[in-house]
Amino acid sequence: MNHRIRLSFGRLLTLLALVGIAAPFATAQVGTKTTADQVITKFIEATGGEKAYASVKKNIVMKGEIEIGGIGVKGPLVDYSARPDLHKSVVDLEGLGQTVSGSGGGIAWESSLMGGNRLMEGAELTKTLRDGRFQMILHWKELFAKGEVDGSEKIVIKMEGDKKAQERDCWKVVLTPKKGEGEPEVMYFDKESNLMIRQTSVYDSAMGKLDIQTDMTHYKKMGNILFADRITQMVAGQEILVQMTSIETDVDLPEDTFDPPASIQKLIEKAKAKADAKGKNDGR
């Protein structure tokens, strides 16, 4: 199972909770008759199957170490996700302080020394909420407008046990969001293992649009599900490496784990008051 690790400051990592009633959905076919549905179903089976995913009743807590290549900045991260759509990420980087971000209930936010406190809006909000759906990969037909296999493609990637990067033959799956909800996301599934090993996307951040490439390797079985143990991301030419140190499911968490901090709660209340006032004016 892959995950959408949603760290702030431009979404340094966007893979940590990839893992209903679907909206009308088109699954395109190519000449080989291979569909996005077939490829993603094989991925779900390869990582444990729907029963294994369903065995996680409440939440997933992932801990790891993050390192920003080139400048040697590193630190711990903790990523929480819970049914049905709650998410929180806490990152402590040397010299940069703590960054906390979260989403759920139609709201997404982040708080940091560098960027201050803010609520997300527009395409950034919709993508963050989509990423925050618990075990998102199970709900892709509901969350995206269209999915199709755009043929196969060879990518160069260093997998576990490789001394150097090797070519891997992959199915290229393109998931197109609903209108106004961001750019298409491209996923590469290894034909031999059926695992997703790369994803590319465009992220609408407070700093503008960012091209992001995320590689998922070193899959390990935690409980009944395979998780990517190492995540490498390229953002604006900068490499970020996350090495997972522990993954736990159905943890007894404090009731306020996903509550926004007081500084963010004030912004939420202010935004609600503004929306209520606008609604009253529009109703006159």
Say which residue, 123 or 265, is predicted with more confidence: 265
Where residue 95 falls among pLDDT bands split at 50, 70, 90? Answer: confident
Instruction: Summarize the confidence of residues 18-34 as an average pLDDT.
Output: 43
Give yes or no for residue 3 having a pLDDT over 70: no
pLDDT of residue 284: 61
pLDDT of residue 93: 93
pLDDT of residue 273: 92
Calculate Rg over the CA atoms of the chain: 19
Domain borders along the chain are 5-278
Where residue 37 falls among pLDDT bands split at 50, 70, 90? Answer: very high
Lowest mean pLDDT among 20-29, 77-86, 100-109, 230-239: 20-29
Query: For 38-85, what is each residue's pLDDT tens digit?
Result: 999 999 999 999 999 999 999 999 999 999 987 889 999 999 999 999
Calculate what percentage of the chain has a pLDDT beyond 90.
Answer: 70
- Closest among 198, 140, 142, 141 to 169, alpha carbons compared: 198
pLDDT of residue 164: 84
What 3-state class would DSSP assign to 266? helix
What does the alpha-carbon distance between residue 90 and residue 99 come to, in Å, rounded to a whole number? 6
Query: For 105-132, what is each residue's pLDDT tens digit?
Result: 999 999 998 889 999 999 899 999 999 9
Decide if domain 5-278 falls under CATH 2.102.10.10. Answer: no
Please report, for residues 27, 261, 262, 263, 277, the alpha-carbon distance to residue 273 in angstroms, rounded to integers and kept in the order given: 41, 18, 16, 16, 6
